[in-house]
Amino acid sequence: AQKVTQAQTEISVVEKEDVTLDCVYETRDTTYYLFWYKQPPSGELVFLIRRNSFDEQNEISGRYSWNFQKSTSSFNFTITASQVVDSAVYFCALSEAMIKAAGNKLTFGGGTRVLVKP
Amino acid sequence: EPEVTQTPSHQVTQMGQEVILRCVPISNHLYFYWYRQILGQKVEFLVSFYNNEISEKSEIFDDQFSVERPDGSNFTLKIRSTKLEDSAMYFCASSEVWNSPLHFGNGTRLTVT
């Protein structure tokens, strides 16, 4: 069975500090997808990134960067120079998606609440 | 940018009543999903729907739950006889193809009293 663990339940930082969110996953499959979603206080789930298991290149998008390490089953997320608007709950998710008809069934981690103080 | 829309945003119902949560997925998407999030907890998969039938469902999705795509645009989740523990935020999502990212709606907060 697949599992996603986000050990940090809450992180509090001061604006402009960097913050790294940890995500560790378990899966028996060799082909899978990893995701990060943001849930701001308004409650919606906003897609941030998807990686497939064959692509271990790190990715940077503006102030966001992701570090995927298959050897440690981790997919960590860093926000550089945090801003108050980054305050949200961030969820890491895993999809095995081996059955085409099932679509992208996601297993979510417990989420990490990030509080950025001015 | 196209988005998934859900109505209502908040639904209050009494225990034992039936509720229908409505969703309009993104128009060219082929896969539809319902997830739920009990307050303060993780997001949990309920059901996926493809080609006009359920393709996968979780243990949570028991006989009290059903989904339907009554026309070309709407996707509904029905809870036949609500229980207190059904109180949660229910998210509808859709994806273009089987392995593409899910796009979520803003959710319907269901409160069962």
pLDDT at site B98: 81
Q: Does residue B67 surpass a pLDDT of 70?
A: yes
Classify strands A19-21 and A74-79 as parallel, antiparallel or unpaired.
Answer: antiparallel
Q: Indicate the pLDDT class of residue A99, thresholds 50, 70 and 90.
A: low
Q: Indicate the pLDDT class of residue A65, thresholds 50, 70 and 90.
A: very high
Distance (Å, whole) CA A59 – CA A66: 5
Residue A103, Ramachandran bin (φ over 0: left; ψ between -120 and 50: alpha; else beta): left
- Please compute the mean of the pLDDT values over residues B91-107 and round it to a whole number: 91
Strand partners, B65: B79
- Which among B9, B28, B24, B94 has a CA at the least distance from the CA of A106? B94
B44 to chain A, any CB pair closer than 8 A? The answer is yes
Task: Name the residue among A44, A103, A110 with its Cβ closest to that of B50.
Answer: A103
Q: Indicate the pLDDT class of residue A113, thresholds 50, 70 and 90.
A: very high
- Please compute the mean of the pLDDT values over residues A91-117 and round it to a whole number: 87
- Please compute the mean of the pLDDT values over residues A41-52 and round it to a whole number: 90
pLDDT at site A97: 61
Give residue for tokens 């509080």: A115
pLDDT at site A98: 60
Contacting residues of A for B104, CB less than 8 Å apart: 37, 44-47
Contacting residues of B for A35, CB less than 8 Å apart: 101-102
How does A68-106 read in b/e, with b if 16+ C-beta sit within 10 Å? beeeebbbbbbbeebeeebbbbbbbbbbbbeeeebbbbb
pLDDT in tens, B43-59: 999 999 998 999 999 99
- Please compute the mean of the pLDDT values over residues A79-101 and round it to a whole number: 88
| B98, B100, B103, B111, best to mutate vs chain A, most A CBs in 10 Å | B98
Average pLDDT, chain B: 94
**How far apart are the two ends of chain B, measured CA to CA in Å?**
37
Token output for A50 = 């998807």
- Please compute the mean of the pLDDT values over residues A77-84 and round it to a whole number: 96
- Please compute the mean of the pLDDT values over residues A96-115 and round it to a whole number: 84
A101: closest CA of chain B, how far (Å) = 6
Contacting residues of A for B5, CB less than 8 Å apart: none
Contacting residues of B for A110, CB less than 8 Å apart: 41-42
Distance (Å, whole) CA B106 – CA A64: 23
Q: Does residue B109 surpass a pLDDT of 90?
A: yes
* Segment among A70-74, B78-82, B97-101 with least mean pLDDT: B97-101
Higher-confidence position of B33 and A55: B33
Are the C-beta atoms of residues B94 and B2 closer than 8 Å to each other?
A: no
Tell me B101's DSSP state. P
Are the C-beta atoms of residues B82 and B99 closer than 8 Å to each other?
A: no
- Please compute the mean of the pLDDT values over residues B21-34 and round it to a whole number: 95
B15: closest CA of chain A, how far (Å) = 24
- Please compute the mean of the pLDDT values over residues A66-86 and round it to a whole number: 95
Q: Does residue B2 surpass a pLDDT of 90?
A: no
Contacts of B113 (CB under 8 A, 6+ apart): B12, B13, B14, B15, B84
> Within a 10 A sphere around the Cβ of A23, how many other Cβ atoms?
27
Judge if the upstream peptide bond of residue B8 is cis by omega within 30 degrees of 0: yes
Q: What are phi and psi of A71, to 5 degrees?
A: -60, -30
